[in-house]
Structure 1
Amino acid sequence: MTDVIKFFTRRQGKKKASLTDWISYGFLFLGFLIIFLPVLWLVMNSVKSQFLLQKYDTNFLPMDYERIARATTYGPDGKDILIMKDLEPWVMFWKNLSDDERAEKDVVNYIKNFSGNEYYALRSHFGLVSVMAKDLILSQNLPDWLIKYPSMFPSAKKEYDPQAIVDSLVDEDARLLSEYLGLKPYKPNGFTAQILVSMMDPQTGELVEYSVSRINPTKDTVNARLVSNPKGGITKLPQNEIIINKNLKPSWINYTDPLTKKALKSFDAVRCLNNSVFVTIVATLITLLINSMAAFALSKYRFNGQVIFFVIILATLMVPASVLIVGIFKMVTMTGLSGSLWGVIIPGAATPTGVFMLRQYMLTIPDELLEAARMDAASEWTIYWRIIFPLALPAIAVLGILSIIWRWNDLILPMIAVSTTKAAYTIQLCLLDFNGEYLAREHYALAMTVVSLVPTTLVFVFLQKYITTGIASTGMK
């Protein structure tokens, strides 16, 4: 720690900091913000709840709001908007709970504590309409086609008259069956969690509560609905006058649920990480072997077309990766590597960057060492393995570290080779499983993104000295 303090308090040999010192530390601080602030923002967002992410919360810390439920019901009297307070926290998070957690909640008995539109809203929120309607059809010996009616095509529905059956039931049963069948005037009831804010009434001086969909810090006002009169419409409140109750509440389930398969049954974090580790290690070893052998040939041998080969290798650096997708796909398919991790490893085994880097470094190794080895009857393989490879370890270490980072973060090759084989997914490909069309899981995706960054970050932090040493030595004579 003392070395760190000494480094950040260095001067140009003077007691007071000079203009150059202030400029240097200014650039250092600016570089820190540019590089690490987005990473810190990602980490802090990874422990925010799905509710905060859906509300586009811009707070740096995971400050959770005090919440309130806004429900919308439909019936013979039309649309009704109501605000529900003092609900259990798990009611707000119902859609984010796992199947095991839902099974632990006795929602049937819980909604019996409510009546009227509050009961109907919670019944739809918990997904009990279809369950209770099917039980009603079976218990009342109603026609079996009623169960299949909601999923029928419009042309098939014309053959039946469900309204006649609904009219023969008592009011509560008729409403339940109408909601299940989607008969007018009933529509799917809405239920959403909102932010509870309060503001002093300028006339009475009393604290009045409002329900807010989301808070945009770039705007001066927020759209709110009065809790005591939700049907009164939207009111614009000055943002600098509202009172928001917030508390620090990290959402650790963003990490625990995916790692324990509670977030998504198809997402196996351990399997994905193992696949990535296997691909990274094996691909890096193959890359180091092939690139070092190619660099050895280009730096220590003289043959016709040597310069042409080297220029062609360097020219591939200017080819965008997107242009190679079709060619790699055909190669993987024709060689039978599709659906296998080897289809991810083999196509990127040789890299032009690695060949160039190692060649430039091997040029600094004296040719006299090779001539002396040949005079001692050493084979070319012995020269490569016992002389060139050990002497080029600084550059090889750099290439190995870069290869680990490249292969771990690679998404294009896995999408080409193993996109149809879920068992062979790497961690980067597995992250795409959270991009649902109807169900958002950004909180899980952000958390698993942070997990995927940990290995490469550790590699870079603990091996960065080899990167600087190897790159500094490359090309020097």
Structure 2
Amino acid sequence: MSGVWDFFTRTQGRGRLTVTDWLSYAYLLLGFLIILVPVLWLGLNSVKTQFQIESQDLSLLPGDFERVARATVNGPDGREIFVIADLPDWVLNWSDLSAQEQADRDVGAFLADYEGNTLYALRSHLGQVSNAARAVIAAEGLPVWLNRYGALTPSAREAFDLDAVVATLTPEQERLILEYLGVEPYQPNRIVTQALVTAPHPDTGDVLQWAVPNPNATSEFLPGRAVDGSIEGVVRLPRESVVTERNIAPDWGNYIEPLTGTAYGVNVDFATCITNSVLVTVIATLMTLLINSMAAFALSKYTFRGQTFFLVMILATLMVPATITLVGVFKAINATGLSGSIWGVIIPGAATPAGVFLLRQYMLTIPDELLEAARMDSASEWKVYWRIVLPLALPAIAALGILSVIWRWNDLIIPMVAIATNTEAYTIQLCLLEFRGEHISQEHYRLAMTVVSLIPTTLVFVFLQKYITTGIANTGMK
């Protein structure tokens, strides 16, 4: 640690900071911020709640405002909108709970404490309308066609006398059945969460609690609805008069749920994706090192007809974009029966022209006299390669291995071509695409799993970067 401190406090030796020192420290600070700020932003956003991400909350720290429920209830008297305060978090976040978490909640006991429009809104929000309606149909011996009445066409409904059936029920039972069937005027009731803020009434000056859709809005006025119901309708609140209270609450479920396979709306197991990526990276890297080193050994230590031609052809492939060969790779994978298997990801990129060139340039620095001496001692070509060339080329091989790990771990194109049809073989990069679909977006999961996917390559680069610089720097030495 003292060495680090001595490095950062080092000056030009005059006992005070000069212009050069100030510029050097400013340059180091700028570079540090350029690297740190995006990483810090990603890390903090990865523990934000789904609501905070979807509402495009630009605050740096993870957390949320204290929330209340705004309910919309439809009935014979029209639409009524009101605020329900003091609801538990599991009710407000009901749609985000897994099926098991929802089953563990005693919803019936919770609803027993409410009545009227509040009950109707909560009953719809918690998905209890269909269960309660089926129970009434069975208990009262009502016709079974009620269970399919909502899916019938208007002409098919004319064959059934719905009014005669519901006339035998109590008003509460009648409302429940009509909500279940979606008959006018009983449209689906809704509950959305809004932020709880404090602000004075623009006209009377009375300080009240209000439900506001988004306190971070940039408009001059915020639409607010009184929580206590003392004021009807929406009131325009001056933005500068609104006082909010934010709770710092990291959502660690963004990491736990995908890794345990309990993430809502996600069809892949991220732990399996990590395992597949580890297998692909390790096996492919070993194959790359073996094949590339053997090709580099032949191109650097043997003289044969067409040697220069083969080297030029290998180097020429570096100028061909990967997208140009994508169709050919796809056909080759299908023709060999590797589609849907992780071997379809491993084999196509087993040999890399950049790796061959890197190792060849390093092996040129190995004295030919060592190889000739080994051959004079009756060493086979394999032993020369395995016992002499590989150990001496270890810095370059280590550099290529590290680069191969980074390339394979972050590769997306080949997995999309080879295993897009088999979710069980998905690598980590393909799994990240599954967090956004046509009807659902799970950006909070995607951000968290992006952080997880960056950890292995970051650790490899941080702790093994000296091998990269050493191996690449020595490839041009002769």
Alignment TM-score, normalising by the size of structure 1: 0.92
Q: How does 1:21-36 map to 2 (within 5 A)?
A: 21-36=21-36
1:250 alignment partner, SS class = coil
**C-alpha deviation, 1:413, in angstroms:** 2.1
Q: How does 1:92-171 map to 2 (within 5 A)?
A: 92-152=92-152, 160=160, 162=162, 165-171=165-171
Q: Deviations over 1:277-315 (max 9, x none)?
A: 111111110011111112222222333333332233233
2:384 and 2:288 mapped to 1: Cα distance?
20
Alignment TM-score, normalising by the size of structure 2: 0.92
CA 1:243–1:357 in structure 2 vs 1: closer, same or farther (change >3 Å)?
A: same
What letter corresponds to residue 299 of structure 1 in structure 2? S
1:326 alignment partner, SS class = helix
CA 1:52–1:335 in structure 2 vs 1: closer, same or farther (change >3 Å)?
A: same
1:118 and 1:175 mapped to 2: Cα distance?
14
2:222 and 2:316 mapped to 1: Cα distance?
56
CA 1:134–1:17 in structure 2 vs 1: closer, same or farther (change >3 Å)?
A: same
**C-alpha deviation, 1:218, in angstroms:** 5.0
Mapped contact 1:290–1:349 kept (Cα < 8 A): yes
1:87 alignment partner, SS class = coil
What letter corresponds to residue 251 of structure 1 in structure 2? D
Q: How does 1:277-296 map to 2 (within 5 A)?
A: 277-296=278-297
Mapped contact 2:111–2:122 kept (Cα < 8 A): yes
What letter corresponds to residue 299 of structure 2 in structure 1? L
CA 1:326–1:136 in structure 2 vs 1: closer, same or farther (change >3 Å)?
A: farther
2:419 matches 1:418:
yes
CA 1:17–1:216 in structure 2 vs 1: closer, same or farther (change >3 Å)?
A: same
Choose 391-400 or 350-359, whichever is displaced more. Answer: 350-359
Mapped contact 1:224–1:237 kept (Cα < 8 A): no
2:391 matches 1:400:
no
CA 1:387–1:441 in structure 2 vs 1: closer, same or farther (change >3 Å)?
A: same
2:203 and 2:154 mapped to 1: Cα distance?
56
2:102 alignment partner, SS class = helix
**C-alpha deviation, 1:113, in angstroms:** 1.3
**C-alpha deviation, 1:215, in angstroms:** 3.4
CA 1:136–1:463 in structure 2 vs 1: closer, same or farther (change >3 Å)?
A: same
1:241 and 1:476 mapped to 2: Cα distance?
70
Q: Deviations over 1:396-446 (max 9, x none)?
A: 111111111111222222222222223222222233333244343222222
The aligned residue for residue 178 of structure 2 is: 178
2:341 alignment partner, SS class = coil
CA 1:19–1:181 in structure 2 vs 1: closer, same or farther (change >3 Å)?
A: same
Between the aligned residues of both structures, percent identity stands at 58
1:155 and 1:310 mapped to 2: Cα distance?
77
Unpaired runs of at least 5, structure 1: none
1:163 and 1:385 mapped to 2: Cα distance?
89
Mapped contact 2:261–2:271 kept (Cα < 8 A): no
Choose 126-135 or 311-320, whichever is displaced more. Answer: 311-320
1:161 and 1:313 mapped to 2: Cα distance?
80
CA 1:216–1:334 in structure 2 vs 1: closer, same or farther (change >3 Å)?
A: same
The aligned residue for residue 81 of structure 1 is: 81
**C-alpha deviation, 1:185, in angstroms:** 1.6
1:435 alignment partner, SS class = coil
1:323 alignment partner, SS class = coil
CA RMSD of aligned residues (A): 2.4
Q: Deviations over 1:429-475 (max 9, x none)?
A: 23333324434322222222222222222211211111121122222
Q: Deviations over 1:190-218 (max 9, x none)?
A: 11111111123466554222212223365
Choose 198-207 or 452-461, whichever is displaced more. Answer: 198-207
The aligned residue for residue 39 of structure 2 is: 39
**C-alpha deviation, 1:154, in angstroms:** 6.5
Provide the aligned length of Structure 1 versus Structure 2: 476
Q: How does 1:65-464 map to 2 (within 5 A)?
A: 65-152=65-152, 160=160, 162=162, 165-201=165-201, 204-216=204-216, 219-229=219-229, 231-233=232-234, 235-238=236-239, 240-264=240-264, 266-464=267-465
Q: Deviations over 1:331-370 (max 9, x none)?
A: 1111111222111111111112212221222222223333
**C-alpha deviation, 1:144, in angstroms:** 2.0
What letter corresponds to residue 171 of structure 1 in structure 2? P
What letter corresponds to residue 292 of structure 2 in structure 1? N
